[in-house]
Amino acid sequence: MSHDPNCIFCKIIAGQIPSKKVFEDDDVLAFHDINPWAPVHILLVPKRHIASMVDVTPEDQAVLGKMMVLAPRLMAELGVTGGFRQVINTGPDGGQEVYHVHMHVMGGPRPWLKG
């Protein structure tokens, strides 16, 4: 499995940096975002280091599909019932800050809509 020793998500996957895990198997780690944008905000990360969606190959199809199927299950387990948002930022113009593919999954009431 590919690993980048300088990548913060690779360090989280390796257990070198703590995280509040939601799910883990051989392929994917899901954990709560440390700077949430919604009441429930988790990150789904493939354990194999893939820097960006630009670097995805057919070999990555299964793990990316697993992440898409896993997201609604985890949101339901976390009590999200009114829908959720899935976002993958890609590259500098796409707002990617950590260069390890990750999917933000955000749910719960959106406080900025109140008023």
Query: Which residues are identified as catalytic?
Result: 102
Query: What is the helix, strand, coil percentage profile of the chain, to 5?
Result: 30, 20, 50
Distances, alpha carbon 70 to alpha carbons 43, 91, 103, in Å: 11, 24, 11
Residue 70 · residue 23 · CB < 8 Å = yes
